[in-house]
Structure 1
Amino acid sequence: MIKRTIERVLSWIGIVLQLIGVVAMALFLPLMGNSDFKDTVVQSMQEQDSSFTKQDSTEILDILSSLITFGLVFSIIVLIIAIIAATLIGKKAKLAGVLLIIAGVVSILGNWINAILWIVAGIMLLVRKPKNDNDDNKVHTQDDDLEYLDKEEQSASHHQNDRDNNYKY
Structure 2
Amino acid sequence: MIKRTAEKVLGIIGVVLNALGAILTGIFIGVAGDEISQELYNDPTITTEDADIMSSFFGGLGWYFVVVSAISAILGIVGIVLLRRNSKSTAAGVVFIVTAVLSAILTLFGSFVTSILYLVAGIMAIVRKPINQHNTQDSNTIDSY
**TM norm. shorter chain > 0.5:** yes
Question: C-alpha distance in 2, partners of 1:10/1:114?
Answer: 9
Q: Deviations over 1:29-78 (max 9, x none)?
A: 324664x55213433xx2xxx54223212210111111112221222111
Instruction: Tell me the residue number matched to 1:165.
Output: none
Assess if the C-alpha contact under 8 Å between 2:14 and 2:73 holds in 1. no
User: Does the alignment pair 1:39 with 2:35?
Assistant: no
- Provide the aligned C-alpha RMSD in A: 2.3
Q: Assess if the C-alpha contact under 8 Å between 2:15 and 2:74 holds in 1.
A: no
Among the aligned pairs, what percent are the same residue?
33
**Residues paired across the two proteins, number:** 138
Residue identity opposite 2:80 in structure 1: A
- 1:99-135 deviations in whole A, cap 9, x for unaligned? 0001100111230000000001001100111122225
Q: Which has the larger radius of gyration?
A: 1
2:93/2:121 contact within 8 Å kept: yes
Partner of 2:66: 72
Contact 2:16 2:73 in 1 (8 A): no
- Relative contact order, CA 8 A, sep 6+: which one is greater? 2
In structure 2, how many angstroms separate the alpha carbons of the residues matched to 1:63 and 1:120? 34
TM-score by length of 1: 0.72
How far, CA to CA, are the matches of 2:27 and 2:112 in structure 1? Answer: 21
Point out where structure 2 has 5 or more consecutive residues left out of the alignment.
none
Structure 1, unmatched stretches of 5+, are 139-143, 159-169
Distance between the aligned counterparts of 1:37 and 1:51, measured in 2? 15
